[in-house]
Amino acid sequence: MGTLWHGRFDRGPAEELLAFTVSLPFDQRLAADDLVGSRAHVRGLVRAGILDAAEAGLVQAALDRVEEEINGGRFEYRPSDEDIHTAVERRVTELAGPAGAKLHTGRSRNDQVATDLRLYCRRSLTEIIARVLELQGVLLERAIAAGETYLPGYTHLQRAQPVLLAHHLLAHGWALARDVDRLDATRTRLNVSPLGAGALAGSSLDLDPEGVARDLGFDGPFENSLDAVSDRDFVAEALFDLALLGVHLSRLGEEIILWSTEEFGFLRLDDAYSTGSSMLPQKKNPDIAELARGKVGRLVGNLTGLLTTLKGLPLAYNRDLQEDKEPLFDSVDQMSLALGAMQGLLASSWFDTDRMQAAADSPYLVATDLAELLVEQGTPFREAHALIGGLVRDSIERHVPLAELVAAHPDLGDAAVELLEPGVSVTRRTTPGGAGPKPVAHQLDRFRARLQTDRERS
Ligand code: ARG
C-alpha cells in the first residue's frame, strides 16, 4: 500500500485519480524548501521530546541522503508519490526505518505545503528584487551617460515638451523602485510560519511552533491554525507584484519598440539582442521588448486565475489550493527571464541622440515656454496661451516659421526668439522633479541613493 492514508482504505487509488490529482511534476521544485522545512521540524520534535537524539540523527542523515539523491538526479520517484512531500517522507522512512516514520508527527501536508511555498516565495522574491535592482542600475548608468541629451516628451504620443533623456529613463527607474518596495513588503508580510497548524487545528502534542518559526528565519508563527493552512494571500500578492512589474516592463518595452522604428529612429538595438526575419533580409526586430510586453498576458492571467481559485473556498485546506503553485512558478520564471533580457537589451542598445534632439528642436515644443515668458511679464496664463496658440496656428496655416512671427510680435521680441534656439527650452524646466538639467542632476543623486539603500536591504 503506497498511500499516506492506506490505514483507512481497503483499496488503492484509481489511475484516473492519480493522473488528475498528482502534483509531483510541478511541485518537485519545492524539494529544497521541503527539506529545509523538514529539518527544522525534526529539530522541533527533538525539543518537544518526541524524537530522541539518535532518532533525529537518523532522520537528518536520511534527509541529507534524499537531498543528494535529488540533486544528483538519482532520486527514484514512485507512481504513488503524489507530491514532493509524499516522495521525501516515503524515502526518509525507507532509509531511516521507524525513526523516519516519526518525521510526520504533529505535521500535516497542509501546514507543510504552506511552509514550503512561503520559503520558496521568500527566496524567489529575493532573486527577483536583485534582478530589478540590476535593471535599475543599467537605467541609472545610461541616464548618467546621457548627460544633457534631450528628446521630445510626449502626451497622447504627440510631441509635447523637450525632456532630458536621463529624466525619461529615470521615470522607468522610479516605477521599478516602487516594484522593489512592493516585492519587499510582500516578502515581509509572508514571513510567517504555518508549521504547527497541522491539518487545520493544531495538535495535542507539545510542539514548538515558535522555535520552528525562528529556526526557519520566519518572523514568528501563525496566529490561527485555520488561517495558516488556508491562506494564500501571499501568493496572490506576489502574483500581483509580478504582474505590475510586468506592466512596467511592458511599457518600457513598448517605448523601445517605438524608438527603434525607422519612424522614430531614437534607438538602435545591438545584434545580440535583436532578431532577424526568416523572409525579410533587411529586418532587425525588437523581440525581447515585444515579449516583455506580450508576457504580461500570462502574468495577469496567473493572478486572476489564482484569485478565482481562492474565491469562495471554505476554510480550511481544500485541494483547490494545489492550484497555487503553477501560476506562481510560471510568473517567477517568466519575470526572471524578462528582467535579464531587458537588462541586456537596455545596456547594449545605442541612442541616436542627434535624432532625438532634432525631433525635440521643433519650435512648436517651445510654445509653453513662450506663454510662460508672457506670464513672467504679467500676462494672465489663459491669455498668453491663446496668443501663442494663435501664432502657432498662423505659422502652420501660412507656412511662416514660428520664429519669424515671434520676432515680429510686439509683446515677444528677442528674449522670446532666444527660447527657440535648439536646446534652450529644456534648460527652462527648473522646478523640482522637472525635466531640465538642474532638477535632473538632483534626481540622479536621489535615485542613486535610493538604489544604494534598496541594494543594502535586499
Ligand atoms: N499536493 C498538495 C498541495 O499542493 C499537498 C497537500 C495535500 N493535502 C491534502 N490533504 N490532500 O496542496
Mean per-residue pLDDT, 95-107: 95
**Of the candidates 419, 349, 423, 372, which has an alpha carbon nearest to the alpha carbon of residue 164?**
423
Per-residue pLDDT reduced to its tens digit, 14-61: 999 999 999 999 999 999 999 999 999 999 999 999 999 999 999 999
- The preferred substitution site among 33, 113, 200, 229 for testing ligand 1, maximizing ligand atoms within 8 Å of CB, is 113
Q: What is the DSSP letter of 285?
A: B
Nearest CA residue ID for atom 11, ligand 1: 319
Mean per-residue pLDDT, 368-387: 94
378 found inside a domain: yes
CATH number assigned to the domain comprising residue 322: 1.20.200.10
| Pair (131, 47) in one structural domain | no
320 found inside a domain: yes
Which residue among the candidates 38, 85, 108, 156 is catalytic per the annotation? 156
Whole-number Cα distances in Å, 125 to 110, 304, 386: 22, 19, 52
153 found inside a domain: yes
Question: Which residues form the domain of 50?
Answer: 6-105
Mean per-residue pLDDT, 171-177: 98
With vertex at residue 251, the alpha carbon angle to CA 247 and CA 257, rounded to the nearest 5 degrees, is 135
- Whole-number Å distance, alpha carbon 107 to ligand 1 midpoint, is 12
| Pair (269, 346) in one structural domain | yes
Question: Is 156 an annotated catalytic residue?
Answer: yes
Q: Is 113 in the pocket of ligand 1 (CB under 6 A)?
A: yes
Alpha helices in 231-324 (DSSP H): 233-259, 287-294, 296-310
Question: Is 277 an annotated catalytic residue?
Answer: yes
**Closest atom, ligand 1, to C-alpha of 325:** 4
1 found inside a domain: no
* Mean pLDDT value across the chain: 96
- Whole-number Å distance, alpha carbon 68 to ligand 1 midpoint, is 25
| Pair (351, 367) in one structural domain | no
Long-range (24+ apart) CB contacts under 8 A made by 123-126 are 123/33, 124/238, 124/328, 124/332, 125/183, 125/184, 125/186, 125/187, 125/238, 125/241, 126/187, 126/458
| Pair (64, 132) in one structural domain | no
What string of DSSP letters covers 143-194?
A: HHHHTT-EEEEEETTEEEEEEEHHHHHHHHHHHHHHHHHHHHHHHHHT-EE-
| Pair (88, 124) in one structural domain | no
161 found inside a domain: yes
| Pair (178, 259) in one structural domain | yes
Residue 359 has pLDDT above 50, yes or no: yes
Burial of 380 (0-12, 13-18, 19+ CB in 10 A): exposed
Q: Is 319 in the pocket of ligand 1 (CB under 6 A)?
A: yes
- 182-194 b/e (C-beta count within 10 Å ≥ 16 → b): bbbebbeebbbbb
According to the model, what pLDDT value does residue 277 have? Answer: 80
From 358, 374, 402, the end of a domain falls on 358
User: How many C-alpha atoms does 27 have within 13 Å on its Cβ side?
Assistant: 26
CB distance 284 to 350 below 8 Å = no
From 306, 335, 358, the end of a domain falls on 358
Give CA–CA dist 394/50, Å, rounded.
Answer: 90
- For the chain, percent of residues with pLDDT exceeding 90: 93
Give CA–CA dist 181/183, Å, rounded.
Answer: 6
| Pair (212, 350) in one structural domain | yes
398 found inside a domain: yes
- The preferred substitution site among 18, 80, 309, 322 for testing ligand 1, maximizing ligand atoms within 8 Å of CB, is 322
- Whole-number Å distance, alpha carbon 228 to ligand 1 midpoint, is 14
| Pair (123, 228) in one structural domain | yes
| Pair (318, 193) in one structural domain | yes
197 found inside a domain: yes
According to the model, what pLDDT value does residue 4 have? Answer: 76
Nearest CA residue ID for atom 12, ligand 1: 322
| Pair (163, 292) in one structural domain | yes
Q: Is 83 in the pocket of ligand 1 (CB under 6 A)?
A: yes
Nearest CA residue ID for atom 2, ligand 1: 322
From 358, 373, 394, the end of a domain falls on 358
According to the model, what pLDDT value does residue 200 have? Answer: 97
Per-residue pLDDT reduced to its tens digit, 311-357: 999 999 999 999 999 999 999 999 999 999 999 999 999 999 999 99
Per-residue pLDDT reduced to its tens digit, 245-259: 999 999 999 999 999
Which residue among the candidates 108, 277, 348, 442 is catalytic per the annotation? 277
**Of the candidates 226, 221, 135, 206, which has an alpha carbon nearest to the alpha carbon of residue 176?**
135
Per-residue pLDDT reduced to its tens digit, 60-84: 999 999 999 999 999 999 988 999 9
Residue 2 has pLDDT above 80, yes or no: no
Amino acid at the residue 287: D
CB distance 355 to 265 below 8 Å = yes
CATH number assigned to the domain comprising residue 85: 1.10.275.10
pLDDT-derived band at 1 (thresholds 50, 70, 90) equals very low
Residue 280 has pLDDT above 90, yes or no: no
| Pair (387, 402) in one structural domain | yes
- The preferred substitution site among 115, 319, 328 for testing ligand 1, maximizing ligand atoms within 8 Å of CB, is 319
Domain count, the chain: 3
| Pair (347, 401) in one structural domain | no
User: How many C-alpha atoms does 301 have within 13 Å on its Cβ side?
Assistant: 8
128 found inside a domain: yes
Kindly report the pTM of this predicted structure: 0.96
What string of DSSP letters covers 6-32?
A: GGG-SSPPPHHHHHHH--HHHHGGGHH
